Structure 1
Amino acid sequence: MSSGSTQRVFQLKLDPLTGNSEWVVIEDEEQVSESSRKPLLATTSYLDMLNDSTRNSAFRQAIDRTVTKPCHVLDIGAGTGLLSMMASRAMGSGDSTTRCGNEGMVTACESYLPMVKLMRKVLRLNGMDGKIKVINKRSDELQVGVDIPSRADILVSEILDSELLGEGLIPTLQHAHDKLLVESPQTVPYRATTYGQLVESTFLRQLHDLQNNEEEICDGIHLVPSGLDGILQVKPQQHAMHCDAIKDEMKLLSEPFKIFEFDFWKRPDSRRETDVRIKATIDGRVNAVVSWWILQLDCEGNIFYSTAPGWISSTINAGARHWCDHWKQCVWFIPGKGVSISKDEEVHLHAVHTDTNISYNLKTRAPRAEVMQYGFNTVDSQLILSPERIAIYGDSEWRNYMLKAISNAVQERVNPLCIVADDSIFLTLLVAHLSRTSHVISMFPGLRDKGARYLQAVADANGFSMDRVEVLEKRKPYLTLDDTHQKKVDLLIGEPFYYGHDGMLPWQNLRFWKERTILAPVLSEDVLIMPCKGILKACAMSLPDLWKSRCHLSKIEGLDHSVVNTTLGACGELPAPEEGPCLAFYIWQCGEIKELSETFTLMEFDFSKPMAPCYGKAQVGFTKPGICHGFALWIDWVMDSENCIVLSTGLDKRYWKQGVKLLAHPVAVAIHESRNEGDYVSTAVEASFDPSSGELCIKHDFV
């Protein structure tokens, strides 16, 4: 950041179709256009958080109870300045100057420059720009006597994630208590308590237990060979998830239990351990620990906020559960098939927290094999993938489709040269396993040498030699015949899957098409390309919970936030021609959902030809009455030219994220037979794809 009057920060921007990154300069001038700022903030959780009325009300009540006289209030991670304005209002600051000493002051600390600029707009809109001192720094960079005149009497802050600790709560509080706060300060929140519950769930086991899933699949591919148990696994951490969406697929094996308590009003420890004794309430097999937290916002213990799942009773849940996406429950997977327990049996959960996370180890009195803990395989060949990717690789239907498609392809070639264009370790193993005369070049744009070391480790178990498989050592803008050993490519394949891009929109996996276009000079005239095309599918949806979390803001607890809507990509009340962005979500985790139309095709992407602009249009009739909030979109990958093998990533496929295009305003729809005046019975939907940016533009017209 420069020291002059103009501030600059550099933000890394990813091009999803090439995988290349570039640094974008963000200026600190009001003349910066909204359109240049919007991509930086529109896909964040700020909007969802600001739309959480339960959270906002709880913080407002607690601040009103805590800030009762002029004092120095410090807000760390101030965001749009909501908590700072609540504190200033509660203090009754009346003039237009930033005040200190006995008269009181509020300091808002926010490190992210785009948000600082937005906060200043919000403060100005509410007439508080002169009452709150805004500092664009990390809180651990603040110095008393330099940035702030004195230590603060009260800390208000909301730097919590679904796990509680992941946003740096502990080190932030440690530094604040050491350097920025008075002795025995008041804080909002006052305390946080984490809870857990033991559950049995086949679905949750599939998200991590690839080795046992593979044992039930007889295709000859061994992603986790015997003796290499830890070579491919999920990261041993708590994974955020909307557990209410799978409550019917879980068996609760215990009552909820308390794990850790964190007091914001005193300096926290970096590490603690605890043993929790838990009595099983029913026979079962523990596959996971579901956890959540409860905030006590005031020191008297009257105001609470909970992230507990909906099945928890109100005495523990501290109020009715509402859907929001910025805070979910967390799931800790018990390795392997889990731990078998009997009703009334006592098990021990050993919990450890560090500065940034909480981990568990479940123990029983069963034989040693049932003492479950993650064994960290420290060999260089280990790969860590997302739970959804592990589940896909353990899905028998998906693997059978891939096996059939690749078997048909390699049977038509003698000594084929195959390029795996993406990061699919499965397809690399599959081709090498099925064709003893093939040569495979894996581009592995994300995995790189990690993928090469993994392949080396599992080659013998999959029946091939590494002299037939190679991984490109470095990223090249294009390949030549020198890279392919003077041979044209017979088979170009992908899932498509790109390592590290789990949060991408479905059509951003059209990077495969981009790779195919770049590789054109080394492809044979009769090259087989798999998938051979992609089909953009869509469905009209009722998504009340999701739409509410992304809708436009007006006043939050009496404080005007209407100025943030364009920048945060809100639905509704945006100036024409602004529209909210397409966002990536697991639709099945989006709270209340309802399909209002049949699935329809919007456009096709033909991978036999170089990448080009695409356009599609569909007239869609509604099959169910309801309130339409937008459209879910996904891509079905067609593997063969006969359209016999199609891999869908649609609404019933829970391991893939779909794209969501929310309407500016919800629309009442009906079927023809039950139409009322004002209802819409169909809609025209248009889509256009720009290959230069990878952007998909969706337009609609209800009739």
Structure 2
Amino acid sequence: MLLLSVIRRRIRILVSLSRFAAATRSMSSGSTQRMFQLRVDPLTGNSEWVVIEEEEGEGEEEHGHPPFKNNNNNKSLLLLGTTSYLDMLNDSPRNRAFRQAIDNTLISPSHVLDIGAGTGLLSMMAARAMGSAASTCGDSKQGGMVTACESYLPMVKLMKKVLRLNGMEKAVHVINKRSDELNVGVDVSSRADVLVSEILDSELLGEGLIPTLQHAHDMLLVENPVTIPYRATTYGQLVECTFLWRLHDLHSNEAHASDGLRLVPTGFDNILDSHGETELSIRAINNGQVHAVISWWILQMDREGTIFYSTAPRWISMPTNKSDEDWCDHWKQCVWFVPGQGIPIYKDREVHLCAVHDETRISYNINTHSRIDAMMYNFEGGDFQLELSPERIAIYGDGEWRSFMSTVIRNTLKGRVDPLCVVADDSVFLTLLVAHLSQTSKVISLFPGLQGKGVQYIEAVADANGISMDRIQVLEKKRTLSSMLDTHQKKVDLLIGEPFYSGTEGMLPWQKLRFWKEKTMLGSLLSEAALIVPCKGILKACAMSLPDLWNSRRCLDKIEGFDHSVVNTTLGACGEIPAHEDGPCIPYFIWQSGKYKKLSDVFTIMEFDFSKPISPSSGRNQVEFVESGMCHGFALWIDWLMDSDNSMLLSTGPDKRHWKQGVKLLAKPVAVVIPGSSSLSECCHAVIEASFDPSNGELLVRHVFS
């Protein structure tokens, strides 16, 4: 990576928003609270609002579980266990910065409003700083008062437990609403003098920070309130990085592909207007090609500018209370890609950059000549927009992957006359590839996630690839085939997928077994000689040393003096938890997990045979360690066997950066040694087993060390 220059220009933003507000709806009636939570079945893609009821005043269950009244409890806990709450609460520099700023600022009784309160940590800090004199009904002019606003019902329940555990339940007034639903004189007795909040994302603005805090300043706060944090400053750096560029420039990367297909034909570009800009002139320190702007932000916690918190990469030296050894997962640096082919730049020459922000995002524009207009860029062609993740763009532009898939489909089509092929997933590449390789084929694409956008895209690029739309049909009105009326009375010869389902990139690897579910549902429409591609899924695993990731999700104890142990099980912590309370598998890019090392060879746990109907599956294997070290868990993924000859295998393991793996962290790290070691006190073997439930798409993983 070639580093060119650092942008040092401040953008002052005061923002906040309660978490999960878009994914839940809540209401209350008498002593009963109800939450409507959106749940998606990973094997069907169907979503439904699930009602979760909770009785106020009900007795608490052990290990921090909220006493939900129905059987959806596990689903709710699973959702909380895969959020960023745990690693955020394990971020000691963050917690320390807020505590120092609150202690230094709240030196007299005030009315404090905490928006997006989470577990109530900042609220408790505020109450303690005012001498624990807060009252839920006191006048802020006479005594301290803390109001905690949190919209997500399960988190409200956890907050109440944390407050009770720390003897602070009477010091903090908890309101289960969005901040823009609060009314002075109804929900709170008066406007607040002080705002404490931390509801930011990696880009700073992505959670609706500006409109939420604008509402707070207009409706909930006094004039000239104290705010913690006080200001946010964004920084950036121009970089040349071929790896990042592959996540963006599909047009250039596919130009070298041998298959002749063009997913981004000439003329497909896009421009959207934006507003709010800052212009900069930047001097380059090296020759190179500007591929992207990476950005991060720093919080100035107090008005005086003595306390800071930074999300900068480790090579940047800026005022902050973080050390080089601190690692956290919940905030990462952001990447903005330079449109087109990138920009060549020369040492000591100036680059003109325009930084643009609207209410929810920050963008940039660059050139090397003169003043430029502010614009934001997205991938679109014609009058529609097709959104693909950076990893999917990199996969589609990877010549090796395209050659592999071309070989698979070419072998599958060999000897078939007028084949009917069904693309079961959202692969626009396979749709075009089949039509390209077989001039007599008929292709039906289900596009369960892309739907209408997939139709528009195929129509837009088919002609550029010399393909007639008479040979491609997309079921735009429904997600699957229901009868032979949909196939024009013809049996399906080929059922294929990558598998890739749009919008599920953040899910666990085995949730792509939706392909198996689709195949089972289409069983009656398949010909006797139909080929299924892929024909098998193979669950693979590897023992890993993952110290940074494990520490970011370890059990909570005292956070700046406040006991949080009651939330550990619900948030899926690892560490000192009951043996029967196993944490969830989390989807993660292993290569982004800080320090990591493989401790065992890759091994198979079980196989999923797509030639048979979907069914419960289980398997086990012994883990043989080949490296000594501290084992923090297992990485799990699926390798896709594309042909019955076992010759074409597509891996999505840790060595492949464009796919997420599933990570099963151990409750306690285990020191392991390689076989033959003289040590008798450390483990050298382990057994891991897993079972797959087709009714909900969940994979249960167990392990035993010996």
Is TM (by shorter chain) over 0.5?
A: yes
Equivalent-residue separation in structure 2 for 1:702 and 1:411 (angstroms)? 48
Deviation at 1:93, TM superposition (A): 2.3
Secondary structure of the corresponding residue to residue 68 of structure 2: coil
Question: 1:479 maps to what in 2?
Answer: 482
Deviation at 1:218, TM superposition (A): 2.0
User: Which of 205, 221, 225 is equivalent to 1:165?
Assistant: 205
Deviation at 1:495, TM superposition (A): 0.1
- 2:628 matches 1:625: yes
Q: 1:95–1:366: structure 2 CA closer, same or farther, 3 Å change rule? A: closer
- 2:332 matches 1:309: no
User: Which of 205, 218, 237 is equivalent to 1:178?
Assistant: 218
Q: Which amino acid aligns with 1:522?
A: L
- 2:115 matches 1:79: no
User: Which of 583, 589, 604 is equivalent to 1:601?
Assistant: 604
* 8 Å contact kept, 1:288–1:333: yes
- 2:339 matches 1:335: yes
Question: 2:411 maps to what in 1?
Answer: 408
Q: Which amino acid aligns with 1:44?
A: T
- 2:158 matches 1:114: no
Deviation at 1:171, TM superposition (A): 1.4
User: Which of 84, 90, 100 is equivalent to 1:45?
Assistant: 84
User: Which of 94, 99, 105 is equivalent to 2:138?
Assistant: 99
Equivalent-residue separation in structure 2 for 1:585 and 1:667 (angstroms)? 21
User: Which of 167, 174, 184 is equivalent to 1:134?
Assistant: 174
- 2:260 matches 1:224: no
Q: Deviations over 1:241-274 (max 9, x none)?
A: xxxxxxxxxxxxxxxxxxxxxxxxxxxxx96311
* 8 Å contact kept, 2:135–2:145: no
Equivalent-residue separation in structure 2 for 1:643 and 1:367 (angstroms)? 58
* 8 Å contact kept, 1:332–1:360: yes
Q: 1:517–1:105: structure 2 CA closer, same or farther, 3 Å change rule? A: same
Equivalent-residue separation in structure 1 for 2:458 and 2:587 (angstroms)? 31
Q: 1:271–1:442: structure 2 CA closer, same or farther, 3 Å change rule? A: closer
- 2:97 matches 1:58: yes
Q: Deviations over 1:510-556 (max 9, x none)?
A: 00000000000000111111001011111000001111111111111
Equivalent-residue separation in structure 1 for 2:198 and 2:361 (angstroms)? 17
Deviates more, 1:27-36 or 1:320-329: 27-36
Question: 1:206 maps to what in 2?
Answer: 246
Equivalent-residue separation in structure 2 for 1:672 and 1:685 (angstroms)? 18
Q: Which amino acid aligns with 2:44?
A: T
Equivalent-residue separation in structure 1 for 2:566 and 2:536 (angstroms)? 43
* 8 Å contact kept, 1:208–1:387: yes
Equivalent-residue separation in structure 2 for 1:205 and 1:476 (angstroms)? 34
- 2:390 matches 1:354: no
Deviation at 1:236, TM superposition (A): 8.8
Q: Deviations over 1:213-248 (max 9, x none)?
A: 111112111111123345xxxx999xxxxxxxxxxx
Question: 1:252 maps to what in 2?
Answer: none
Deviation at 1:492, TM superposition (A): 0.5
Secondary structure of the corresponding residue to residue 200 of structure 2: coil
Q: 1:309–1:355: structure 2 CA closer, same or farther, 3 Å change rule? A: same
* 8 Å contact kept, 2:352–2:369: no
Q: Which amino acid aligns with 1:5?
A: S
Q: In angstroms, what is the RMSD of aligned CA positions?
A: 2.1
**Length, aligned pairs only:** 666
- 2:68 matches 1:32: yes
* 8 Å contact kept, 2:279–2:353: yes
* 8 Å contact kept, 2:309–2:320: no
Question: 1:265 maps to what in 2?
Answer: none
Question: 2:189 maps to what in 1?
Answer: 149
Deviation at 1:316, TM superposition (A): 7.4
User: Which of 2, 18, 26 is equivalent to 2:44?
Assistant: 18
* 8 Å contact kept, 1:432–1:440: yes
Equivalent-residue separation in structure 1 for 2:303 and 2:479 (angstroms)? 59
* 8 Å contact kept, 1:211–1:229: no
Q: Which amino acid aligns with 1:56?
A: N
Q: 1:189–1:686: structure 2 CA closer, same or farther, 3 Å change rule? A: same
Following superposition of structure 1 onto structure 2, how do residues 249-288 of structure 1 map, counting pairs within 5 Å?
272-288=276-292
* 8 Å contact kept, 2:133–2:143: no
Question: 2:455 maps to what in 1?
Answer: 452
Deviation at 1:465, TM superposition (A): 0.8
Q: What 5-or-longer segments of structure 2 have no aligned partner?
A: 1-26, 59-66
Equivalent-residue separation in structure 2 for 1:306 and 1:589 (angstroms)? 19
Deviation at 1:319, TM superposition (A): 4.7
Equivalent-residue separation in structure 1 for 2:276 and 2:383 (angstroms)? 30
Secondary structure of the corresponding residue to residue 676 of structure 2: helix
Q: 1:371–1:399: structure 2 CA closer, same or farther, 3 Å change rule? A: farther
Following superposition of structure 1 onto structure 2, how do residues 359-508 of structure 1 map, counting pairs within 5 Å?
359-365=363-369, 374=377, 377=380, 379-475=382-478, 478-508=481-511
Q: Deviations over 1:573-601 (max 9, x none)?
A: 33342210000001100000110001111
- 2:537 matches 1:511: no
* 8 Å contact kept, 1:541–1:594: yes
Deviation at 1:177, TM superposition (A): 1.4
Secondary structure of the corresponding residue to residue 398 of structure 1: helix
Deviates more, 1:451-460 or 1:486-495: 451-460
Deviates more, 1:38-47 or 1:310-319: 310-319
* 8 Å contact kept, 2:134–2:144: no
* 8 Å contact kept, 1:532–1:607: yes
Taking structure 2 as the reference length, the TM-score comes to: 0.91
Equivalent-residue separation in structure 2 for 1:172 and 1:419 (angstroms)? 46
Deviation at 1:295, TM superposition (A): 0.8
Secondary structure of the corresponding residue to residue 604 of structure 1: strand
User: Which of 680, 692, 700 is equivalent to 1:697?
Assistant: 700
Deviation at 1:382, TM superposition (A): 3.3
Secondary structure of the corresponding residue to residue 645 of structure 2: coil
Question: 1:582 maps to what in 2?
Answer: 585
User: Which of 319, 340, 345 is equivalent to 2:349?
Assistant: 345
Question: 2:564 maps to what in 1?
Answer: 561
Equivalent-residue separation in structure 1 for 2:200 and 2:696 (angstroms)? 34
Question: 1:264 maps to what in 2?
Answer: none
Equivalent-residue separation in structure 1 for 2:216 and 2:269 (angstroms)? 43
Deviation at 1:190, TM superposition (A): 1.1
* 8 Å contact kept, 1:363–1:371: no
Taking structure 1 as the reference length, the TM-score comes to: 0.92
Q: Which amino acid aligns with 1:161?
A: D
Question: 1:90 maps to what in 2?
Answer: 129
* 8 Å contact kept, 1:362–1:371: no
Equivalent-residue separation in structure 1 for 2:580 and 2:497 (angstroms)? 37
- 2:563 matches 1:523: no
Equivalent-residue separation in structure 2 for 1:42 and 1:88 (angstroms)? 28
Q: 1:25–1:330: structure 2 CA closer, same or farther, 3 Å change rule? A: same
Equivalent-residue separation in structure 1 for 2:53 and 2:453 (angstroms)? 37
Question: 1:245 maps to what in 2?
Answer: none
Secondary structure of the corresponding residue to residue 595 of structure 2: coil
